[in-house]
Chain A
Amino acid sequence: MAEYKPIRKVVSGNYAAAYAVKHARVEVVAAYPITPQTSIIEKIAEFLANGEIEGLEYVPVESEHSAMAACIGASATGARAFTATSAQGLALMHEMLHWASGARLPIVMVDVNRAMAPPWSVWDDQTDSLSQRDTGWMQFYAENNQEVYDGVLMAFKIAETVNLPAMVVESAFILSHTYDVVEMIPQELVDEFLPPRKPLYTLTDFDNPIAVGALGGPNDYYEFRYKIQKAMEKAEKVIHEVGKEFGERFGRDYSQMIELYRTEDADFVFMGMGSLMGTVKQAVDILREEGYKVGAAKVRWFRPFPKKELYELAKSVEGIAVLDRNFSFGQEGILFNEAKGALYNTDAKPLIKNYIVGLGGRDFTVNDVRKIAENMKAIIDKGELDVEVDWYHLKR
């Protein structure tokens, strides 16, 4: 194994994604522009135009629905396929997302989290990706540009091991257009980490012809759904292994599906996903100095859902403040809903409260975390919730 010397580049989150696509030796990219995703596929096109990528089929399509259809076709021939999208574009793909996972194709997509319209918005909000919860796609939420790059590389490896597609999710503008140092991995080491794909089946094996997309009647459909669930369960194990291997090779450990930050002796923790957790970690350091015993629990993988890790965490704390930059109308924040549901039949019963924060790109700062900490401390002292779902930023 060659020695690992990282290549440091100052790039946006979107360029980090494009570099990862290049390093993963993706064979087919379906490209359709949508803000704030566009610079991912633009950068890939630039690599291609400059001769920096070889063996890539770049397919400009006429909609996001077609983009996913092109990826499905490409992936079914055995190729490594990628696309990127945001918000309404992802919603337009929704039908095809089911086809990708149902056909067990390990496509990787970057979704740049953006609020759903109306009102028209291009800012950060997780409701677009979380609305795809039940499509059978794995979902990884990146906190920073480094995690976008690492996430794409790991997503291909995990997806191709369990034969399910994976979405790597980054925040609109906060990551997609903000430049930061990213440590990239030399090509030969990426090649060792991510060897060529071994497809489950291929349309181009003419000696062993297959039919795909055939009818599955009531007598057969059910079993195939069960197999997807089994693959998701297997994915949990594979995520741990691949995340650990990534850490051993490249120094950044992703073996935990929930990254715990200063939680060992914490009375309560802030739980959330994506870039807002960077703010939370910074706030935790400050709050610790101010005497709060708090920690952060960053949910990296939302699907498969890290039930076991959540249970272990919940046993050790008195309260969990779930920060949702998303909302399921008629109910509550989506991560909160999942977390509460996962703990119901267990003996771990911390006070768990939902804070709706940062919708549509509203600023979420260290000071906001402090206010939430004050509120959490008060309800824990009292031993009961004030409200279950707190529209924290609401102008009252």
Chain B
Amino acid sequence: MNTLFGERKEGATKIVLKSVDEYPEAPITLGTTLVNFTGDWRTFIPVIDDDKCVKCYICWKFCPEPAIFIREDGYVGVDYDYCKGCGICANECPTNAITMEKEEK
């Protein structure tokens, strides 16, 4: 999936380190969010209404995670493996095309 920051790596997953030897020497995250999921904190998820979307991509620009991507038809989608539910996209969308809805798990 193209996040516009780069190709999402095959087999991307949340890293769980089991022993101290597996940890990197410094507290850095290798490969950034291209290989590490960040979408497991949220309570709300953004839901996009294509009928209201004017393809301005402001949501893409403001999203702090690589969660908003641009679909082949030019509309935007949300990659829920990365979305942390902050609601910035909904707040910034000029046409109110994004609503935050409580996620049912």
Binding site for B on A (CB under 8 A): 102-104, 163, 200-201, 208-212, 214, 216, 220, 223-224, 226-227, 231
Contact = CB atoms under 8 A, between A and B. Distances in A.
A224 B29 CA distance: 13
Contacts of A210: 28-32
Contacts of B32: 209-211
Interface stretch (B19-27, B55-63, B74-82, B95-103): B19-27
Contacts of A227: 20, 23, 25
Contact of B17 (A212, A223, A226): A223
A201 B26 contact: yes
Given A220-B17, A223-B20, A227-B20, A104 B33 contact: no
Contact of B34 (A104, A209, A223, A231): A209
Contacts of A224: 23, 26-27
Contacts of A102: 27
B28 A211 contact: yes
B17 to A, nearest CB: 7
A103 B31 contact: no
Interface in B4-52: 17, 20, 23-34
Given A223-B20, A226-B20, A208 B25 contact: no
B26 to A, nearest CB: 4
B28 A212 contact: yes
13 contacts: A103-B26, A103-B28, A210-B30, A210-B31, A211-B32, A214-B29, A220-B23, A223-B17, A223-B20, A223-B23, A224-B26, A227-B20, A231-B25
A200 B27 contact: no
Contacts of B26: 103-104, 163, 200-201, 212, 224
Nearest to B23: A223
B21 to A, nearest CB: 9
A376 B47 CA distance: 79
A380 B62 CA distance: 72
Given A223-B17, A223-B20, A226-B20, A211 B25 contact: no
A256 to B, nearest CB: 28
Nearest to A201: B28
A20 B18 CA distance: 43
B17 A104 contact: no
